[in-house]
Amino acid sequence: MAQFCETIKIGGRGQGKDAVFLGKGFPVLVQTMWKDKLTADDIEGEAGCVLIDRIEKLACMGCGLLRFAAPDLEAAQILGRLSEMVPMPLVADVHFDYRIALRVLDFPIAKIRINPGNIGERANVEKTLEKAGAKGVPVRIGVNAGSLPKDLRYKVDAGEIDCAEALAQAAERELAVFEAFQFFDVLVSVKASGIADTIKANRLLRQRTNVPLHIGVTEAGPLVAGTVRSAVSLFTLLREGIGDTVRVSLSDTVENEVIAAREIINAVAESRGLKPRGVTITSCPRCGRAGFDVHSFTRRWMDRLYTERKTATIAVMGCVVNGPGEARHADLGITGVGNKVILFRRGEIVKMVTGSEADAAFEEELEKL
Amino acid sequence: MAQFCETIKIGGRGQGKDAVFLGKGFPVLVQTMWKDKLTADDIEGEAGCVLIDRIEKLACMGCGLLRFAAPDLEAAQILGRLSEMVPMPLVADVHFDYRIALRVLDFPIAKIRINPGNIGERANVEKTLEKAGAKGVPVRIGVNAGSLPKDLRYKVDAGEIDCAEALAQAAERELAVFEAFQFFDVLVSVKASGIADTIKANRLLRQRTNVPLHIGVTEAGPLVAGTVRSAVSLFTLLREGIGDTVRVSLSDTVENEVIAAREIINAVAESRGLKPRGVTITSCPRCGRAGFDVHSFTRRWMDRLYTERKTATIAVMGCVVNGPGEARHADLGITGVGNKVILFRRGEIVKMVTGSEADAAFEEELEKL
């Protein structure tokens, strides 16, 4: 399977749309998936502005690709119209009915995802690929442990092969179909909710094909559990050079999915001694010694810091025990000392203010960075 | 340094106190640290009951050890009294003033932590160890990158040694002091906010000593970032068999710290093909297809599920695409299908109910597990 593209181009169709490249030689791309059903009202008037702002904010946070479920033809139409309204490359997630894929392809949609396990007969796949090919739109083959082809599921249940092997085989089988249709503009994902299955399936697939890989743990769980499960799985894979785009699936907001994904990618960089991109927040857990409420300060500044395009380490500390020591290494640090708040820049105290002046002083120093 | 204890006993002093063992041959212990200043009012009357309940809940979640800052003698006294009121082993975190350590040792406190970088002259350490030894209370040497001894900090700044080496040397130096005082009932932690430093410092220390290790990333950050940074660092270490007790430091609640720590420990078990302990929640991220609000259901049930002492996998799914497929493997699963909610037990549909009946039906099935 050597003829598949090692890099693919996503988006760039339509006015004001930048293309995003993904795969060999390009940075790992962060993506997320919209949580709610998109209605016609969501993209009109005031609601439309709110939606566009939120998508723009996701872009600032580091999200490079945004997927929406397109459960029916009406949803496909609405998503298509939205794709004309925002610079963010949008992806349509299509199940069961290939006609939905055909419909979204009439719009500047950047990518489509199909689950070959439920899209029906080969002719449906062929029609989809024909139109996607004509439009230059890449397709992701998204294989999930929960919807394996029946024969592979049977083999897993019978103990003949493990889940990871079944996921890899299901992906390879679909790639062969795509190859037969001479469609090479493709990504693959093999997702399971298990950590070991996720890691092994992706390793197998990387050994067997050069197709760009979308990696993620499916149904990873609520915020904390899902972040842990995704972090250990994806960090392991990315450290091995496996994975071209990352989606962290959480039973939580898209913003937290994007923050988790970028933190995982930054953790890989940091573990290699490289500088992470964007703002890294170093903040203390707070304890009985704290004179400064680190929790509420970080909560209040989180959005601003994560949408900041500067690369910097910001330290938010509660007290003198660790505060000044750590903040010394940060590009900007804020620490409570008694009733006062101290601001540091790379080891130098730049200001001492009262608690109520802390936000304004921090804002001012942040601007200067 | 072979004579240090490879396992240590924590707690068990005082009525109703169970001892906890930690180190070689024992499971990795989850711990957390209280976020607020403890006042005399917190342990009296109604407030006292609330506090005791919350600590009991932490125990149910898997927390085996709870630390409190004791910034002054009054705080030491209050903490000491609290240690008489709860079965949970409590740890006193002492900085700057060794007399605080002496005071808490008058109560059934389970462990004390000192930061040798700021406890002052050797005579203070000696007095502390003498009393701790007489009471059978283990001591943690907690070395932080932010408060390294001056000569080691100088060497790091001069580029002679790296931060990890400085942390390990600072710990070794203190261990030598403890050894000279014939005090062997000790744990060590070397903490940094960097992932690479944390991993390397603990590896160095493990190579050089057999002392039980408390591991954690200090000032790891807000909830998502801190969970990612802690997960990748501690997962890496625990996979190598390094680490006897874990504290995840987040600018967030103690409950989330405990959930993160247990999920990291469970991820290590799962990656080795072992069954994790407690409830594992497999839940979908929700999307435009969802007929069932996974986010609010998991939020509503989170506390109950994480304090459940059963070992089980619970799947919470939003729709038919992944839902039934995944829920089939769970001990109990709940999935939205159109306007209805389906409950599964190991692949068998046990109930189909309306959305408003979902909680009661779930409760009933959970009881049966």
Please tell me which of the candidates A35, A199, A287 has its beta carbon nearest to residue B69.
Answer: A287
Instruction: For residue B230, give the chain A residue with the closest CA.
Output: A228
Sort residue A241 into left (φ over 0), alpha (ψ -120 to 50) or beta.
Answer: left
ipTM of the prediction = 0.95
Strands (DSSP E) contained in chain A are 7-11, 19-23, 29-33, 63-69, 90-94, 111-114, 139-144, 186-191, 214-215, 245-247, 279-283, 312-317, 332-337, 340-345, 348-354
Strands (DSSP E) contained in chain B are 7-11, 19-23, 29-33, 63-69, 90-94, 111-114, 139-144, 186-191, 214-215, 245-247, 279-283, 312-317, 332-337, 340-345, 348-354
Please tell me which of the candidates A148, A218, A285 has its beta carbon nearest to residue B35.
Answer: A285
Three-state secondary structure call for residue B268: helix
A93/B256 touch (CB, cutoff 8 Å), yes or no: no
Please tell me which of the candidates A146, A235, A298 has its beta carbon nearest to residue B232.
Answer: A235
**Is-contact A142 A187, C-beta < 8 A?**
no
- Residue A5 structure tokens: 């593209």
Element (H, E) at A88: none
Q: Structure pTM? A: 0.96
Three-state secondary structure call for residue A186: strand
Sort residue A23 into left (φ over 0), alpha (ψ -120 to 50) or beta.
Answer: left
Dist. CA A187–CA B248, nearest whole Å: 36
The identity of residue B332, as a single letter, is L
Q: What share of chain A is helix, strand, coil (3-state, %, to 5)?
A: 45, 20, 35
Question: What pLDDT is recorded for position B99?
Answer: 95
| Chain A environment of B328 (Cβ under 8 Å) | 146
B284/A115 touch (CB, cutoff 8 Å), yes or no: no
| Chain B environment of A144 (Cβ under 8 Å) | 322, 325
The DSSP secondary-structure symbol of B222 reads S
Question: What pLDDT is recorded for position B321?
Answer: 62
Please tell me which of the candidates B218, B287, B326 has its beta carbon nearest to residue A146.
Answer: B326
Nearest Cα residue to B119 out of B108, B127, B130: B127
Strand bridging mode A19-23 / A7-11: antiparallel
> To the nearest whole angstrom, how far is the Cα of B360 from the nearest Cα of chain A?
21
Burial grade of B170 (CB within 10 A; 0-12, 13-18, 19 or more): buried
- Which residues, at least 6 apart from B225, have a Cβ–Cβ distance to it below 8 Å? A259, A263, A280, A281
Longest Cα separation, chain B: 72
Element (H, E) at B70: none
Three-state secondary structure call for residue B62: coil
Give me the tens of pLDDT residue by residue for chain A, a chain 369 residues long. 557 889 999 988 766 677 899 999 999 999 999 999 999 999 999 999 999 999 999 999 999 999 999 999 999 999 999 999 999 999 999 988 999 999 999 999 999 998 767 888 888 989 999 999 999 999 999 999 988 889 999 999 999 999 999 999 999 999 999 999 999 999 999 999 999 999 999 999 999 999 999 999 999 999 999 999 999 999 999 999 999 999 999 999 999 999 999 999 999 999 998 988 899 999 988 888 877 888 999 999 999 999 998 999 999 988 766 666 666 789 999 988 878 899 989 878 899 999 899 999 999 999 998
Strand bridging mode B139-144 / B111-114: parallel
Tell how far CA A127 is from the center of its chain: 29
- All structural domains of chain A: 7-271 (3.20.20.20), 279-368 (3.30.413.10)
Q: Which residues of chain B have pLDDT under 70?
A: 1-2, 14-16, 116, 320-327
The identity of residue A139, as a single letter, is V
Strands (DSSP E) contained in B50-110 are 63-69, 90-94
Element counts in chain A: helices (H) and strands (E):
12, 15
Mutate to test the interface with B, among A219, A254, A334 (most CBs of B within 10 A): A219
What is the Cα Rg of chain B in Å? 23
| Chain B environment of A328 (Cβ under 8 Å) | 146
Tell how far CA A70 is from the center of its chain: 19
User: Which position has the token pair 């000279």?
Assistant: B180
Strands (DSSP E) contained in A197-249 are 214-215, 245-247
Instruction: For residue A298, give the chain B residue with the closest CA.
Output: B222
